[in-house]
Structure 1
Amino acid sequence: MAMPHFWEHMVGSDHAPMALRADWQEQMRRAHDELGFRYVRFHGLLCDDVGTLIAEGETLFYSFFNSDRIFDFLLSIGMKPFVELSFMPTALASGDKTVFHYRANVSAPKDYGHWSVLIRKLVAHWVERYGLAEVRDWFFEVWNEPNLEAFGSGKQQDYFTLYRYTAEAIKSVDAKLKVGGPATAANAWVDDFIAFCAASDLPVDFISTHHYPTDAFGLPGDDTETQLAKSRRSVLRDEMREVRRQAGDRPLYYTEWCTSSNPRDPMHDEPYAAAFVVKTVMEANGLVKGYSYWTFSDIFEENYFPSVPFHGGFGLLNIHGIAKPAYRAFELLHTLGGGLLPTEGAHPTVDMWVVGGVQSVTVLLTNYGLPRHPIATETAQISLRTERAPTAVTIRRIDADHANPKQRWLEMGAPEYLNAAAVAELNAASRCDPEPQPFAFKAGAVGFDVVLPPLSVAAVTLRFAVPPGD
């Protein structure tokens, strides 16, 4: 079975001004180079702090300089923008409702004609600057989570009106530019959105939505651990299957997902996240075109900009650029080949996938359970049928004792501020280096055992000599 690296299509970030920071850019370059991410999506490209549109009296002033600086950088490192068109410039806003620490205006435009002019001018500017062929490779997503009152009215019809004006403005620049939505939280509105666009003869080049395993689980006021305890082990896979059915033959992109929707979840920094990431990604194969983890970095200020090195932020990298276990999970996934091989066997908490190529095969294992659900150390006994003896077998691990810098930080006394020596020590603790894996080869099979502690990942790679004539 083919396994394209759909999880590398894109990754999430905070909001646009963060992309002008040198440390954000350094981490973005690293995530692209080491994990293979190709697009990045962030909020707030149209917010006042980017300066895209401002007003002095009745006069509107357009300034695309800051957005150009962001996109210039992305293109310079081999990445592209997945353009989320949000939020509302104050000059166009019909109200003063805001969200997040940076006070993004989430009200509807007071004049949809002026909104259309902004979108058309901005997209035409990018076509002129970067070339039509380049911008046709981008994605234009209309708004963010419009079904939530936090990001607007929460009413379908208001979003549908916004989508109509936005899509028509984009297509007026070039009919082959890609526009889509509804960019909803919790897989909402997909059927209704497709039906509206069909009835209104509006383009939908892709479907986008979001989900988290904490969505709609537990009771109001429950903490994240309780929400997860009341979730289901493969809930995101089950939801994807249903949305895949709704989307029909349209490309489906999840433009946000994570281990939880809590921006201060301790498990984001722990091996739990690595096991969840690997299991969830592997279960998504064949269902989506892109699966965008939220987010690649803790350089993030929706609530406030933190100083604590491990504060439960969404990022794969912390504020110092130290790789968390989830980062190492994506690193292991990046090394995989492009084909899944059939497997046999089942276990309540242990999952296994075998990914093969001509010169190497990787056996990828997780031991994952939701909080407060039964889980224990398990020994996986692997038998891999092959006529060739491997030339080398190695294992890489992520668990409480491997690639777990937060544990070392706690042992250091959990300092809020790190000096260079502490950063170096934690970087060393975050490494996920290969180690020799004992094995036996006989009777046309390679056999080995892997001990899997709770909430762990192990990747066993078998390397083979190139067959004669290849």
Structure 2
Amino acid sequence: MGVLPPVARFFGADEPNEATTPDGKVLLAELGQLSPHQTYFRTHNLLTTCDPSDDDTPRLKWGCTNAYTEDSYGNPIYNWTIIDEIFDTYLERGVKPYAQIGFMPRALATDPEPYTFLFNATNTYNIIFTAWSHVPTSWQKWGELVFQWVKHEVELRGADEVNSWYWEVWNEPNIGYWNGTEQQYFTLYDYAVYNVRRALPTARVGGPEVAGGPSGTWLGLFLDHTINGTNDATGGDGSPLDFISFHAKGSPIYVNATNSAPGHLQMNVSASLQNVRDAFAVISSYPSQKNKPVIIGEDDPDGCAACQSDAYNYRNGLIYPSYTAVAFSRDLDLALRYNINLEGTLTWAFAFQNTSYFDGFRVLATNQIDKPIINVFRMFGKLTGERLVANSTGQLSLDTVLADRVRGASDVGVLAAYNQTEGKLAAMVWNYHDDALPKPDVQITLDVSGLDTHWQGCESANLTHYRIGPTHSNSYTKWLAMGSPQSPSRAQIAELKAAGMLQTLGSPRNVKVESGKVEVAFSLPIHAISLLVLEK
């Protein structure tokens, strides 16, 4: 089936300054070691102005760098100190920037007040859309800011390094993140990418990071503009576009108790997959664009990492990683269906410093303790090489999941790959349902055939069985068993950190290879995931 794209290596957050906190540094180091493939990080607010100007403390949905201010005469003042600190923190830990060009500095915003905001987990979301979302007072000053930024990065780090980054323009310009019109976003994009390329002609540029898949005609009109629209920065036709990006989100709800079922969380993976399907359909309708890399720039179960509600109570436990396994594997299936060059699926989750343990935010770790979700990315990191044909009698069809969600039978699915260089075969198996309700374990028999093609004469193989489940790779259930301490002892913290690592189901063992076949049987609890790695 061709090389399995290493899509699960992109992450992001609203708050850029979290990267340089103690918790952020620890987590970035872990992200940099997830797989043999390069990890990237995307963040908002890299050009946002601090308010007050000397306070770059991170807070929910806010961050700032003071990259651009003006003197009393309106002359630009560029300051890359905070951006340098953030990007240094990434690079020192093996992570590269997926650099978002935004948001609007206060000195450039057409209506600069109010600029800052204070968000809490239960606020109305729209309070965040202040002056940073506005159109610039001068397109030329906006373009020059981008040029000076990229020029600085090239001078500091070298062209080869910066060429390995992604540069994208803004975030979700089809909703409140952009206060201007669609055409004004095209102008914003033209000036940004023209000046990125003016500083580094070989830089990788893209967008539009639109919310809701294609968002009706939005994505198509953007592609039309990049192909043959008038470039407002140059006056020529079209605008550079090296990769295409959009966002996809699920839609979880809380279901109130009935006579037949208790109140419970209910996920909706099909909502996200419909976004992906619809965006892929638009992209594939443009022959000149079909081979370009595509990145799902946010691919999450819901739309607000910094919000809390009963509908978001999936974030600490097993349903989050199992949802992600289903969503990302079906993204790959949709890419095959629409002949899309899918390069990445980005998880919008990181860490918040100085919050309570297992607070319910969409984060990968809590107080330097890894949540179960991060272990699914460790599993994806071990799926390398050629994608194999893999079928499960319990796996719902792609069209069934798209149309009917996962509300009847569970989705017991599989994704497999073979790394010929390392002589390793890996198969990820999940047991997923949208409802966060108890269900019986399923009995799995994994049949692997055709091994004699690569393992001639091999009579046994080494099996390592990784598991994310109720008692494996699960710091949350360990924390609950301790009584949910908010001031855990050093011994408890050490125990929780160990529980947060990817763990095996027993020790590695030898299994028989007969006529090129291996058979492995095991039980799999609801919302658990197994990764079986066979080595000759």
Checking the alignment, whether the CA contact within 8 Å between 1:74 and 1:80 is kept in structure 2 is: yes
Q: Secondary structure at the match of 1:115?
A: helix
1:62 corresponds to 2:132? no
Q: Deviations over 1:73-129 (max 9, x none)?
A: 333333321110111111111123557648672111122222112111111122222
Checking the alignment, whether the CA contact within 8 Å between 2:428 and 2:530 is kept in structure 1 is: yes
**CA RMSD for the aligned pairs?**
2.9
Distance 1:122 1:111, change over 3 A: same
Matches within 5 A, 1:171-320: 171-187=197-213, 188=215, 189-198=218-227, 199-200=229-230, 201-214=238-251, 228-229=267-268, 231=270, 234-235=273-274, 238-239=277-278, 241-246=280-285, 247-263=289-305, 264=308, 265-285=312-332, 286=335, 287=340, 288-295=342-349, 297-299=350-352, 307-318=355-366, 320=367
* Separation of aligned partners in 1, 2:488 and 2:116: 31
Distance 1:71 1:394, change over 3 A: closer
1:120 corresponds to 2:147? yes
Q: Secondary structure at the match of 1:462?
A: strand
Residue range with higher mean Cα deviation, 173-182 or 369-378? 369-378
* Separation of aligned partners in 1, 2:114 and 2:194: 26
**How far apart are residue 272 of structure 1 and its match?**
0.8
Matches within 5 A, 1:27-426: 27-35=27-35, 36-49=37-50, 50-59=65-74, 60-95=76-111, 96=113, 98=115, 101=118, 105-149=132-176, 151-153=177-179, 155-187=181-213, 188=215, 189-198=218-227, 199-200=229-230, 201-214=238-251, 228-229=267-268, 231=270, 234-235=273-274, 238-239=277-278, 241-246=280-285, 247-263=289-305, 264=308, 265-285=312-332, 286=335, 287=340, 288-295=342-349, 297-299=350-352, 307-318=355-366, 320-347=367-394, 348=396, 349-358=411-420, 359-371=423-435, 376-385=440-449, 386-387=451-452, 388-426=458-496
Q: Deviations over 1:40-89 (max 9, x none)?
A: 11111101131111234334321112212222333333332111011111
Checking the alignment, whether the CA contact within 8 Å between 1:366 and 1:458 is kept in structure 2 is: yes
Q: Secondary structure at the match of 2:284?
A: helix
**How far apart are residue 323 of structure 1 and its match?**
1.5
The answer for the alignment partner of 2:524 in structure 1 is: 452
Residue range with higher mean Cα deviation, 199-208 or 367-376? 367-376
Checking the alignment, whether the CA contact within 8 Å between 2:154 and 2:200 is kept in structure 1 is: no
The alignment-based identity, stated in percent, is 24
**How far apart are residue 269 of structure 1 and its match?**
1.6
**How far apart are residue 432 of structure 1 and its match?**
2.9
Amino acid at match of 1:38: T
Checking the alignment, whether the CA contact within 8 Å between 1:140 and 1:178 is kept in structure 2 is: yes
Distance 1:266 1:194, change over 3 A: same
**How far apart are residue 234 of structure 1 and its match?**
4.9
Amino acid at match of 2:133: V
Checking the alignment, whether the CA contact within 8 Å between 2:319 and 2:436 is kept in structure 1 is: no
Q: Which ranges of structure 1 fall in alignment gaps of 5 or more residues?
A: 300-304, 465-470
Amino acid at match of 1:279: V
Checking the alignment, whether the CA contact within 8 Å between 2:475 and 2:499 is kept in structure 1 is: yes
Q: Secondary structure at the match of 2:459?
A: coil
**How far apart are residue 142 of structure 1 and its match?**
0.6
* Separation of aligned partners in 1, 2:276 and 2:91: 32
Distance 1:6 1:142, change over 3 A: same
* Separation of aligned partners in 2, 1:2 and 1:236: 25
The answer for the alignment partner of 1:462 in structure 2 is: 534
Distance 1:314 1:100, change over 3 A: farther
Amino acid at match of 1:29: A
Q: Deviations over 1:167-223 (max 9, x none)?
A: 2222222332222111111123221101122222211121111111129x999xxxx
Checking the alignment, whether the CA contact within 8 Å between 2:135 and 2:180 is kept in structure 1 is: no
Amino acid at match of 2:294: L
Distance 1:180 1:218, change over 3 A: farther
Q: Deviations over 1:406-441 (max 9, x none)?
A: 122122222233342221121122233222468565
Distance 1:460 1:137, change over 3 A: closer
Distance 1:214 1:71, change over 3 A: same
Distance 1:306 1:78, change over 3 A: closer
* Separation of aligned partners in 2, 1:312 and 1:112: 41
The answer for the alignment partner of 2:402 in structure 1 is: none
* Separation of aligned partners in 2, 1:227 and 1:168: 45
Q: Deviations over 1:233-265 (max 9, x none)?
A: 954653464355255222211121123224232
Amino acid at match of 1:428: A
Checking the alignment, whether the CA contact within 8 Å between 1:351 and 1:365 is kept in structure 2 is: yes
Distance 1:230 1:97, change over 3 A: farther
* Separation of aligned partners in 1, 2:10 and 2:371: 19
Q: Which ranges of structure 2 fall in alignment gaps of 5 or more residues?
A: 51-64, 120-127, 231-237, 256-262, 397-410, 453-457
TM norm structure 1: 0.87
TM norm structure 2: 0.77
* Separation of aligned partners in 1, 2:440 and 2:44: 40
Q: Deviations over 1:348-375 (max 9, x none)?
A: 4100123223432222200111126995
Distance 1:250 1:34, change over 3 A: closer
**How far apart are residue 398 of structure 1 and its match?**
0.8
* Separation of aligned partners in 1, 2:527 and 2:12: 24
Distance 1:372 1:332, change over 3 A: closer
Q: Secondary structure at the match of 1:269?
A: coil
Checking the alignment, whether the CA contact within 8 Å between 1:229 and 1:373 is kept in structure 2 is: no
